[in-house]
Amino acid sequence: MGQLGELEPVPRKSTVEIVSDELRSAILYGSLAPGSQLGEADLAARLGISRGPLREAMQRLVQEGLLHSEPHRGLFVITLDESDVEDVYMTRLAIERAACVLVMQRNRGEAVVQLTESLQELEDAARERDRVKMSDADQAFHEVLVRASGSPRLERMAQTLLVETRMCLNALQATYPEPDELVEEHRRLVDAIADGEEERLLRLIEEHMTESIERLSNP
C-alpha cells in the first residue's frame, strides 16, 4: 500500500464482474423476473459478450443463491415467497448486527457522515413518495452501514441478501412502510451511532428487521 496521497492504479473490473453486476441488477429490479429462465444465446447477444464470461458470471450468481440450476432445463432466477421472508431478514439481522458492533468499535464518526448522506437520499425519495427511489435509498443505506464495518466478508454476504430483500419487496409491494415511518426508522439508527449507544443501536436494528418480517408476513 502506498503512502497517503500517493496516486495508485484504479482497480478495473473484469468482464465477469461487470456481467455479474448487470445480472444481479436485472434480478433486483425485476427485469429478470423470479422463476424466469436464462437463455445463454439471448443474454450474450443483449450484453454484447461471448458466452464464456456470461457462463462464469451466471455460475457466480448460482453460488450466491440468486440463480438455481434445474437438470436438463438450465438456469432459473430463484423464486421467493412469504416462507423465505423470515429467513432473509433474520440472516440480514445476524450480518447487520455484527456490522453494527464493528462500526461502534472502529471509525464511528466516518460512519455517521456516510450514513447521514444516505439518510438524506432516503428523505429526498420519501418526499417524492417514489417507491423505487425509496427502495434504492433504503438498500444503499444498509450497504453503507455494512461497508462501514470494514469487513469485506460481511459486505459480500449482505450484497446477496439485499437483492433477495428487494425481491421480497417487489412481490409484496403493498407492505412497504409509509415514507415518514421509513425515514424515522433509519434516522434512529444514525442517531444511536452518533450518540455512541451500542445497546440502543443493536435493539433498533433488531426491531427494524423483526418489524419488517411482521409487515411482509402479514400483508
Reported pTM: 0.80
Q: How many distinct structural domains can be found in the chain?
A: 2
Q: Indicate if 177 and 99 belong to the same structural domain.
A: yes
Which pLDDT does position 219 carry in this prediction?
A: 58
Q: Encode 117-135: b = buried (16+ Cβ within 10 Å), e = exposed.
A: ebbebbbebbeeeeeebbb
151 lies in which domain range? 82-217
Residue 8 within a domain = no
Q: Is residue 20 part of a domain?
A: yes
The helix (H) or strand (E) run that includes residue 69 is: strand 67-70
Pairwise CA distance, residues 111 & 147, whole Å: 9
Among the candidates 36, 54, 77, a domain finishes at: 77
pLDDT at 97: 97
Residues with pLDDT less than 50, the chain: 1-2
pLDDT at 174: 58
CA atoms within 13 A of residue 41's CA, in its CB half-sphere: 0
Residue 1: its pLDDT value, please?
45
CA distance linking residue 92 with residue 81, whole number of Å = 17
What is the DSSP secondary structure assignment for residue 1, as one 8-state letter? -
- 89 in the same domain as 73: no
Q: What is the CATH number of the domain that holds 36?
A: 1.10.10.10
93 and 37 in a common domain? no
